[in-house]
A and B are shown apart, each in its own frame.
Chain A
Amino acid sequence: MTQLALVIDLNVCVGCSACVTSCKEWNTSGEAGPLSDSNPYGKDPSGTFFNRVQTFEVGTFPLTEVVHFPKSCMHCEDPPCVPVCPTGASYKREEDGIVLVDADKCIGCKYCAWACPYGAREFDEQQRVMKKCTLCVDRIYNEELPEAERLPACVRACPAEARIFGDIHDPESEVSVLIREQGGYQLMPELGASPSNHYLPRRKIHRKIQKDELLRADNPLKKERLPKPSPDEPSLDDVTSW
């Protein structure tokens, strides 16, 4: 069974919010109607977003690190928002594991938002229904788009490639390999929702540079005992890269 999800690399996210704006742009223009804003240029602006980037400062000055932290729906394997829905508007797709809201059935009781530990659902004040990330379900299967563009809008927008999209149930997929090899983790695993989106941790990328690395040295350790060319053969410099 497929479980589509995002892997978010906190090591490279620079907090530019391109994913936020591209998500809003795509999803506010879709068939499901706009993600409404109230007072966007006035006092106390407010609006519906599927994806937000938060920023945290870790450590005490001057030993601090700033972590940009994008968060959208986790598309949990055991989504707590689905069974509580009284109308069945909130559902998880069998075929690809995407958690969606059927706006035609949603009565706007907000119970699902209370059941979600991640604050991933937002109530749209204008349409009065619950909204959430769809993993751009109207892009990824959209045959009107060129194949290379059939990705969530946020993934396509990310300039740092901090967002990777794929099937976490396929052990050979890019996302599964990243999770496996780079210590991908889930948020609040203790709550048992088994979120599908994973985060890749900050990594220390210090590199020790040796003195001789600064100088160009041809075969410095003289490891290979290369044969001396005879006078009528091309010299070593003519055939090797060094």
Chain B
Amino acid sequence: MTTLFGLGQGLFLALYTGQVYSLFKLLPPQDGPLFYGIGSGLVLGLLIVGLIASVFHLGHPKKALGALTQWRTSWLSREAILLPVLLFLVFLYGGLHLLNWKPVLFSIGEGVQIDLTLMIGGVATLVCFGLYLATAMIYASLRLLQEWATPLTVINFLLLGGASGFTLATTFAMTSAPQLVEFYGTWAIVITLTGFCSRGISLYRNSQLRYQSKLQSAIGIRHDQIRQLHQGAMGGNFNTKEFFHGREAELLQQIQWGFLILGFILPILLLTVGLVMETIELLTAAVLIQYTGLLLERWFFFADSKHPQNLYYRATNQHC
């Protein structure tokens, strides 16, 4: 779900960046309303699928509207508010482009005209960044999960979502606006590379973590040798299922390499070759492979976190 949001938001940012660049005549303008219109439609589609997936993974989807109330304290609530706002703005943005209704509001200097779509796109971009922040802060705000509680989480969510969005924009431009392919492709490579670096830094950081809590502080017994004999449940319970992935450490290692290759290295290669040879197949492959890689990355992100409550379930899984 978070990967879908990231992809959709990234694509929107790509579209809007294109429009702003063409405003300043750095890029050839896309006069045909279809490019932005269909692009926004794609964004809406991705975000709505993400929204549906996230609502239906709740215990009670029918009561989901209640999640809009606690924006003062809860990042999850903030995300739930920003997402429909973004949906609405992207809908307006795409709709105005499709109708080709762009009343000029004002102009800066000579020939730079700010029209309505540009204004709405600007607001939507801010909301987009806010939404990235909110999604990432859901995890980064949990101080007890030291793997997540770092600004790197926010940076990674932004860069990884942006990278997949720009890669998708490259492929999309290949079909509808070939003169933008190079622009999007270059940005996709730059953002993917930056994301590779920041995710690498966070992997290194997490490998060096010293944990605040130990079994000794969890049960308050100062002794080096403590072994759990019984964990308060004959079978498993919610605590052993929710917080343990139950996989071997080797698999985790493999997945880490998997997402580094599929999410970053292969897409960069495919994008580069695809840009030079101008083949849509390679670019499409880049989108699909990168998205698969980012799904692995998100799985790893969750599996990599060591929840302090696991200290009370040491008998369950020694790997965690």
A residues lining the B interface (CB < 8 Å): 20, 39, 43-49, 52-60, 66-67, 69, 71, 80, 82-89, 104-111, 113-119, 122-123, 125, 127-130, 185-192, 199, 201-202
Contacts and interface: CB of A to CB of B under 8 A. Distances in A.
Top 10 closest pairs, chain A to chain B, by CB: A108-B59, A52-B232, A119-B309, A128-B59, A87-B66, A83-B73, A86-B77, A86-B67, A55-B230, A86-B76
Given A48-B238, A84-B141, A85-B70, A59 B59 contact: no
Given A55-B228, A59-B225, A187-B217, A128 B238 contact: no
Interface magnitude class on chain B = 35 or more
Contact of A189 (B217, B231, B243): B217
Given A49-B237, A56-B219, A107-B63, A86 B70 contact: yes
Interface in B36-85: 58-61, 63-64, 66-70, 73-77, 80
Contact of B59 (A53, A83, A107, A188): A107
A108 B58 contact: yes
A129 B221 contact: no
Given A46-B238, A86-B77, A129-B60, 15 more contacts: A46-B236, A48-B237, A54-B228, A58-B221, A67-B221, A82-B73, A87-B63, A105-B63, A107-B60, A109-B76, A113-B238, A119-B243, A186-B220, A187-B219, A189-B217
Given A109-B76, A117-B309, A119-B243, A56 B229 contact: yes
A172 to B, nearest CB: 25
Nearest to B227: A57
Contacts of A83: 70, 73-74
6 contacts: A59-B225, A85-B70, A87-B63, A107-B61, A187-B217, A199-B219
Contacts of B143: 80, 191-192
B144 A191 contact: yes
Nearest to B59: A108
Contacts of A199: 219-220
Interface in B218-247: 218-221, 223, 225-239, 241-243
Nearest to B79: A86
B144 A47 contact: no
Contact of B237 (A46, A60, A71): A46
A109 B59 contact: yes
Contacts of B313: 119
Residue among A47, A89, A117 with max Cβ neighbours from chain B (10 Å): A117
B66 A188 contact: no
Nearest to A60: B225
Contacts of B144: 80, 115, 117, 191
Given A107-B66, A117-B213, A185-B220, A44 B236 contact: yes
Contacts of B63: 87, 104-107
Given A56-B228, A67-B219, A86-B67, A45 B308 contact: no
A202 B187 CA distance: 62
Contact of A110 (B69, B77, B227, B242): B242
A191 B308 contact: yes
B307 interface: yes
A44 B235 contact: yes
Contacts of B61: 107
Contacts of A186: 220
A88 B212 contact: no
A66 B243 CA distance: 26
Contacts of B80: 86
Contacts of B218: 187-188
Given A55-B228, A56-B228, A188 B213 contact: yes
A100 to B, nearest CB: 15
